[in-house]
């Protein structure tokens, strides 16, 4: 789907190091993985996005400091 342009990921880790480091520091007690931090950061970059996950830590994480992240999270 990425090859056909159906899915686009406007993300370059090397451009996001400061905000990702800040997220990982904020949630170090969870702890937050690099992959989780990237998804939270993507949710900040793409405002109307929803994250599909089975990781319940996303109930704790917040985008833009205080906003709940829209999730699809199976019970």
Q: Decide if pLDDT at 71 tops 90.
A: yes
Q: Decide if pLDDT at 11 tops 90.
A: no
Contact 54, 73 (CB under 8 A): yes
Select the more confidently predicted residue: 36 or 11.
Answer: 36
Q: What is the reported pTM?
A: 0.87
**Domain limits, the chain:** 13-72
pLDDT in tens, 19-68: 999 999 999 999 999 999 999 999 999 989 999 999 999 999 999 999 99
Burial class (CB in 10 A: 0-12, 13-18, 19+), 36: buried
Q: How far is the C-alpha of 30 from the C-alpha of 46, rounded, in Å?
A: 24
Q: How far is the C-alpha of 60 from the C-alpha of 62, rounded, in Å?
A: 7
pLDDT for 21: 98
């Amino acid at each position: 789907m990425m090859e056909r342009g159906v899915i686009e990921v406007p993300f370059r880790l090397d451009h996001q190091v400061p905000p990702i480091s800040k997220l990982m520091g904020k949630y170090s007690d969870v702890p937050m993985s690099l992959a989780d931090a990237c998804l939270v950061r993507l949710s900040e970059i793409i405002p109307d996005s929803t994250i599909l996950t089975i990781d319940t830590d996303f109930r704790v994480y917040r985008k833009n400091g205080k906003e709940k992240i829209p999730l699809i999270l199976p019970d």
